[in-house]
Homo-oligomer: A and B are copies of this chain.
Amino acid sequence: MEASHHHFVTARELADTFGGRVYGDDTTRICRFASLANAHLGDASFLSNPRYADQLATTRASLVILRDAASARAQGLNCALIEAADPYLFFAQAAGWLIARARAASVKETTIHSTACVDPSARIGKRVRIAAGAIIGPKVTIGDDADIGAGCVIEQGTRIGQACLLYPRVTVYHDCIVGDRAVIHSGVVIGADGFGFAPQADRSWMKIPQVGAVVIGNDVEIGANTAIDRGTLDHTVIGDGVKLDNLIQIAHNVVIGNHTAIAACVGIAGSARIGAYCQIGGAAGILGHLDIAEGTIIGPMSLVMSSIPESGKYVGVYPLQSQSNWEKSAALVRRLPEMRRQLKRQDHRET
């Protein structure tokens, strides 16, 4: 299922690169990985979870990575095999390497599509691909080996690091910085104005200009349709190795520490500071102007309303119930103060 249909590698070459012992024809060529169930001739697959062991009997893969070649042979699997201690790790490394290799092979020198618009003042590195309809503004810098997808818009003064991969239709506003090796998916918006408005005497809102920027470290991945706003004065900062899923909102002046991972649909309000190595569950919310300690884990759909000085696992979710049970429990949640008073009164009577 990879774009790289024509870049083959042999079983031998894979084993030499990623470790493991080859069984069967070590000249077997594959060009991509697929599941045991979906693999076709010319694909590699792997068996990691024993739950899928049955599929060895029927897979059409040309090469399978697994822990126990003898047992697979006993099940009648006749394709080439690589016996490896951790087939899943082998897959993750080898599949990533195949994709990167195909990409590198396809772009040997900087290529700008005829329908792209690149400002003459932009500085474009070596082996850069700029796809159809992309628009690169004045004084933009694009690092070596970067890949700018179709319809991307990179505005004035922004710097995109080396070997960045921007999928189609990413927007990066002016004067932002994206580190090396970023992977940014379609629909991402980096550097839009933070939501800054001051109330006026007539109850209308005055816009506070957002003159900061967004600064993103190295090795960051950003999922589809996620938005990261520019800072009001100082910058919104995303640390090295941060992984952001889809449809996340990062408000102005948020700071996210290195290697923090954030699941989809999370919203982080202005000036929140998230430590390094945190894990934020899907659709969680984090209010503004607070600090979350390094290594904190926030459960899904939980709202952080004040700083978390001590790392740990935190959750705040109303438990799911049948609608009729929920109606009863929710009514009583509202009456908790009354229940509490009743308890105290009874305690008082007894003592």
- Report A's interface with B, CB cutoff 8 A: 1-3, 5, 32-35, 37-38, 45, 88-89, 91-93, 95-96, 99, 113, 115, 117, 131-133, 135, 149-151, 153, 155-157, 167-169, 171, 173-175, 183, 185-187, 189, 192-193, 195, 197-198, 203-209, 211-213, 219, 221, 223-225, 227, 229-230, 233-235, 241, 243, 245-247, 249, 251, 259, 261, 263-265, 267, 269, 277, 282-283, 285, 287, 299-305, 312-323, 325-337, 339-340, 342-343, 346-347, 349-350
- CB contacts (< 8 Å) of A34 on chain B: these are 211-212, 233
Is there an interface contact between B209 and A33, defined as CB atoms closer than 8 Å? yes
A280: min CB distance to chain B, Å: 12
Show 25 A/B contacts (Cβ-Cβ < 8 Å), sorted by A. Answer: A2-B211, A38-B234, A92-B208, A95-B211, A96-B207, A117-B132, A153-B186, A167-B171, A167-B192, A186-B189, A187-B187, A189-B246, A192-B224, A192-B246, A223-B227, A224-B229, A225-B225, A227-B246, A285-B301, A314-B321, A316-B326, A319-B330, A319-B333, A328-B336, A333-B333
Cα distance, A174 to B45, chains bound together (Å): 20
What 4 pairs across the A-B complex have the smallest Cβ distances? Answer: A35-B233, A316-B320, A95-B209, A189-B224
Kindly identify which residue among B185, B189, B300, B304 contacts A185, using a CB–CB cutoff of 8 Å. Answer: B189
| Other-chain residue from B277, B313, B343 in contact with A322 (beta carbon distance below 8 A) | B313
Among the interface residues A95, A133, A204, A339, which one has the most CB atoms of the partner chain B within 10 A? A133
